[in-house]
Structure 1
C-alpha cells in the first residue's frame, strides 16, 4: 500500500502541478492587478466588519474556519519537511506560492460566495468548487467529480496527517508509555489515551454543525497563532545577529539550491500549498458560509488568510528551526544520508521534531510542551475544517435526494472522519503524509484547472472586483451607502442566492422613499 501511495503521489505531484500552481497564481495576480497588494488595507478592515446572521457566520468566523484548515501540521511539521528535504531555499518558494496564491485564494473564495446556496436541511449557506463548477461552467459532472475528490481527500486522506502529528507531539513530551497491542497495532498507552481525548472532543464539536465549529475556531486559532508567533519572535531576537544570515541562506539557496533546485522548489511549493491551501479548493467552503454584502469582500478576507498562514506562522517556524540549527538536510539522498546533519540521524523529518527541538533549545521543557499544545490546537482545528468541507460536499451530492439522505450522508462522514483520525494517529507518519499529499494534489489539479476555465467562459471574480472597487471609491461601506451586488448586471447566471437577495433589497427600497439615496 505504501508503495502504491508513493507511486500515485509522484504522478500527481509531477512538475506540471508545481508550475500550474505558480502559473495560476501569477495569472490571477496580473488579472487582478495584484489585488493582494493593492487592497491589503481593505482586507484588514473587512476582518472586523461582517456580522453573522441566522444562516451564515461572520467574515472573521469564516476566516477562522479557513485558517483552521490552513494553519495545521503544514506550519509545524510541513515546514520542517520542506527544509529537511529541500534545504533553506524551500522556504523562499513557500513565500512565493503564498504571495501569488493570495490572488488565487481571492478568486476561488469569491466564486464560492457568488454561487452559494442554502442547505436543504439546515438552511445554512453552502458553497465551494463543486457548486461553482456546476453553476458557472454548467458542468455538473465536474462538480460531482470535485465533490467526490474532496470527500475522499478531506474525509479520508487528510485527517490522518493532522492526528498523526498530534499524537507524535504528545508522545515526545509525555513518553510512549507501556507498549500494547491496540486493534492489531503495537503502540504506547500515551497515544491511546491522547487519541481517546481527541475523539471525544471532536465528536462533541462536529455534531454541533458549522456554528459550533466557527465558535471554537474563532477563539482557538487566533490565540494559538499569536502565542506561537510571539515565542518564535523571542527566539529570533535571542539570535538577532543570525537574522541576516538566515535571510541570505533562504534567498540564496532558493536559486543555488543546496539540496538541488528541483528539490527546493518542489518541496517549497508542495508544502506551501499543503499549508496555505491557496488553489486547493478548500477555502471557498468556509468563504461561502459567511454573511457579507458583496462576494468580493470574503474573497479579500480569504486572500489575507494566506498571508497569515505562510508569511507569519510558517515563517516563524522556519526562522526558529534555522536560527537554532535544529535540522538535517537529506535532499534527494538515500534515507540516513545527509547533506547537512546538525541533529541525530534518527530524528524523523516528516514530523514536528525539528520545531520541538528548536523550541526546547531556547525554552527548555516548556518549549517542547508548548509545541505539543500548539500542534494539538493547530491540527485539531484543521480536522474540524476538513470535516466541514466533507460535510458541504456530501450536502452537494445529496441535495436533490431529500433531507433524509442528506442527514444520513452527513452522519456517515462524521463516523468516517473519526475513524480516519484514529487510523492516522496510530500508523506510520511517512505513509500518512503520502496519503495527505495525494489528497491535496488531487483537489488542487481539479480546482485550478476549473477556475482557469471559468475565466475563459466568464469573468465573474474579475468583473465584480472592479465593481467592488468602484463602490468603495464612491463611499461604499458607510452608513449612508451600503455595498450592493446584482449578478445580472454582469451577466452572471445561476447566482440564485444573490439574485433573490438583490430583488428583496430593491423591493425594500421601493417601499421606503427615504432609502432613495441608498438605492
Structure 2
C-alpha cells in the first residue's frame, strides 16, 4: 500500500507541477508589477481595516482563517522534511516559491471574491465557483469540488492530527491502549472532541476561533525563534551562506541532493503556504470587503507570514543547532549528514529547541504544533464544507454536511493511529491534485484577475482609499453578488 501511495505521489508531484507553479508565480509577479513588493504597505493597512457583517467575516478573520490553513505542520515538520530530503538548500527554494507564490495567491483570492455567492446567509466562494462562473466549465468546477472534498475532508486532516499525536506523545509520553480490538489514542479523542465543538458552529465560529488562536500561536512561536536566533546571532551569516551555497550546488557535501533541494523546497513550500493550491480563496471569499483586490492583497501577505517568517524561524533554529539529518538520495537508510542518529525529521524542531531549553523545549514545540495543526484542521473542514455547499446547492445540503462532519472527525482520529510516512504521502497526493486543477484555472482566468487588479490600482492612484467594485465597468460577467450589491445601492 505504501509503495502504491508513493508511486502515485511521485506522478502527481512531478517536475511538471513544480515548473507550472514556478512559471505561474513568475507570470503573475511580472503582470502585476511585483505587487508583493510595491503594495506591501497596502497589505498591512488592509489587514486591520474593514468590517464584518451578518453574512461575512472581517478581512482579519479571513486572513486568520487562511493563515490557520497555511500555518500548520508544514511550518515545523514540513521544513524539517525539506532539509532531510534536500539539504539546507531546500530552504532557499521555499523562499523563492513563497515570493513568487504571493502573486498567485493574490490572483486566486481575488477571483474567489469576484465570484463569491451568498448561500444560507453566509458568503461562500472558491475555485469551484470561479471555474463555473468565470470559465463556464461546470464539469471542471465539479472536479475541483470533488477533489477538495476528498483531499481536505479525508486525506489532509491525518497529517495534522498525526503530527499533534506524535509531538505530544514524544513530549508527555501519553499512552495508547487497546480496547476490544480497537486502538485507543487519548490525544486523538481530545482532538476530535474539541474540533466537534467548533465545526458544528459554522463559518463564523471558525473565523472567531482562528482570530483568537492564530496571533497567539504564531506570536509565541516566532518569539521563541527570535530568542534562539539572538542567542546564535553570530551564526546567521554562515547559515545564510550554507543555504545559498547548497541551493545553487556550490556546497560539495550536498551536491548529490541539488535536484532534491529544488523539488522538496518547492513541494514543501507549496504545502506550507498553499499559494496556488486553491484552499485560501475559500477563506478569502468569506470576507466583507469593498473591492475583491483588497482581500487578494491580504491573502498575498499571509504567504509572507507563513514562509518568510514562520518557516524561516524553524529552519534557522534547526540549522543553528545542527539538529538534522540529510538522507542519501540513492541509498535507503544512509545519510549524507547524520547529526541525530535514530531520529527522523518529525523530531528535528523539538531537538533544536531542547538544545537551548532542555527543561521545556520538547513540550513547547508540542504545544505550538498542537495549535498550528489544530487550526489547520479547522480550515480544512471549512474548505471541504464550502465545496459540499457548491455541489449540493439545490439539494439536501444538511444531510451531506452532517456526513462530511462525521467522516472528517473519523479521518482526523485515524490520522493519530497511522504512520507519519503514510500520512504525508497521502496528503501530498491531495495537495498536488488540487494544485494541478487550480493553477490551470487561474491561468485561464488571468485576464479577469488582472482586470480587477488594474481597476483597484487605478482607483488607489486617484487617492481613493476604499474603492468600490463594479464588474460591469471593466467587462466582467457572472459576478452575481457584486451586480446585486451595486443594484441595491
Q: TM-score range by the shorter chain?
A: over 0.9
Match of 1:369 among 357, 363, 366: 363
Q: Is the 8 A contact 1:28 1:103 kept in 2?
A: yes
Residue aligned with 1:260, SS: helix
Which whole-Å CA distance do the structure 1 matches of 2:108 and 2:31 have between them? Answer: 14
Partner of 2:486: 502
Query: Which runs of structure 1 show a deviation greater than 3 angstroms over 4 or more consecutive aligned residues?
Result: 182-186
Match of 1:485 among 466, 469, 476: 469
Aligned length: 485
Q: Is the 8 A contact 1:49 1:59 kept in 2?
A: yes
Change (3 A) 1:339 1:72: same
CA-to-aligned-CA distance 1:291-339 (integer Å, 9 cap, x gap): 0000000000000000000000000000000001100000414332100
Deviation at 1:460, TM superposition (A): 1.6
Match of 2:458 among 470, 482, 491: 470
Deviation at 1:221, TM superposition (A): 0.8
Which whole-Å CA distance do the structure 2 matches of 1:471 and 1:211 have between them? Answer: 31
Asked if 1:445 is matched to 2:436, the reply is yes
Residue aligned with 2:360, SS: helix
User: Considering only CA atoms, is the larger Rg found in Structure 1 or Structure 2?
Assistant: 1
User: Once superposed, what is the RMSD of the aligned Cα atoms?
Assistant: 1.2
Q: Is the 8 A contact 2:455 2:474 kept in 1?
A: no
How does 1:57-68 map onto structure 2 within 5 Å? 57-68=57-68
Partner of 1:347: 343
Partner of 1:147: 145
Match of 2:398 among 395, 407, 422: 407
**TM-score of the pair, normalised by structure 2:** 0.97
Which whole-Å CA distance do the structure 1 matches of 2:486 and 2:417 have between them? Answer: 51
How does 1:70-85 map onto structure 2 within 5 Å? 70-85=70-85
Partner of 1:200: 193
Q: Is the 8 A contact 2:174 2:186 kept in 1?
A: no
Deviation at 1:195, TM superposition (A): 1.3
CA-to-aligned-CA distance 1:15-62 (integer Å, 9 cap, x gap): 000111111000111111111111000000000111101100000000
Which whole-Å CA distance do the structure 2 matches of 1:440 and 1:182 have between them? Answer: 34
Asked if 1:35 is matched to 2:35, the reply is yes
Residue aligned with 2:445, SS: helix
Partner of 2:56: 56
Asked if 1:6 is matched to 2:6, the reply is yes
Change (3 A) 1:331 1:302: farther
CA-to-aligned-CA distance 1:132-171 (integer Å, 9 cap, x gap): 0000000011000000000011001100000000000000
CA-to-aligned-CA distance 1:421-479 (integer Å, 9 cap, x gap): 11111101100100010000000000001111122xxx1211111111121122212xx
Change (3 A) 1:436 1:182: farther
Residue aligned with 2:323, SS: coil
Residue aligned with 1:340, SS: strand
Q: Is the 8 A contact 2:65 2:379 kept in 1?
A: yes
Q: Which runs of 5+ in 1 are unaligned?
A: 506-519
Which whole-Å CA distance do the structure 2 matches of 1:214 and 1:494 have between them? Answer: 27
Change (3 A) 1:43 1:182: farther
Residue aligned with 1:299, SS: helix
Change (3 A) 1:142 1:406: same
Which whole-Å CA distance do the structure 1 matches of 2:70 and 2:138 have between them? Answer: 28
CA-to-aligned-CA distance 1:202-226 (integer Å, 9 cap, x gap): 0000000111111111111111101
Q: Is the 8 A contact 2:115 2:130 kept in 1?
A: yes
Which whole-Å CA distance do the structure 2 matches of 1:104 and 1:182 have between them? Answer: 48
Partner of 1:161: 159
Deviation at 1:180, TM superposition (A): 2.9
Q: Is the 8 A contact 1:185 1:426 kept in 2?
A: no
Residue aligned with 1:339, SS: strand
Residue aligned with 1:493, SS: coil
Partner of 1:180: 177
Q: Is the 8 A contact 1:75 1:313 kept in 2?
A: yes
Change (3 A) 1:184 1:34: farther
Partner of 1:225: 218
Q: Which runs of 5+ in 2 are unaligned?
A: none
Partner of 1:325: 322
Match of 1:240 among 230, 233, 243: 233
How does 1:368-407 map onto structure 2 within 5 Å? 368-401=362-395, 405-407=396-398
Q: Is the 8 A contact 1:18 1:266 kept in 2?
A: yes
Which whole-Å CA distance do the structure 1 matches of 2:84 and 2:112 have between them? Answer: 36
Q: Is the 8 A contact 2:351 2:362 kept in 1?
A: yes
Which whole-Å CA distance do the structure 1 matches of 2:398 and 2:80 have between them? Answer: 40
Which whole-Å CA distance do the structure 1 matches of 2:368 and 2:265 have between them? Answer: 22
Which whole-Å CA distance do the structure 1 matches of 2:474 and 2:179 have between them? Answer: 59
Q: Is the 8 A contact 1:86 1:267 kept in 2?
A: yes
Match of 1:356 among 350, 371, 376: 350
Q: Is the 8 A contact 1:263 1:331 kept in 2?
A: no
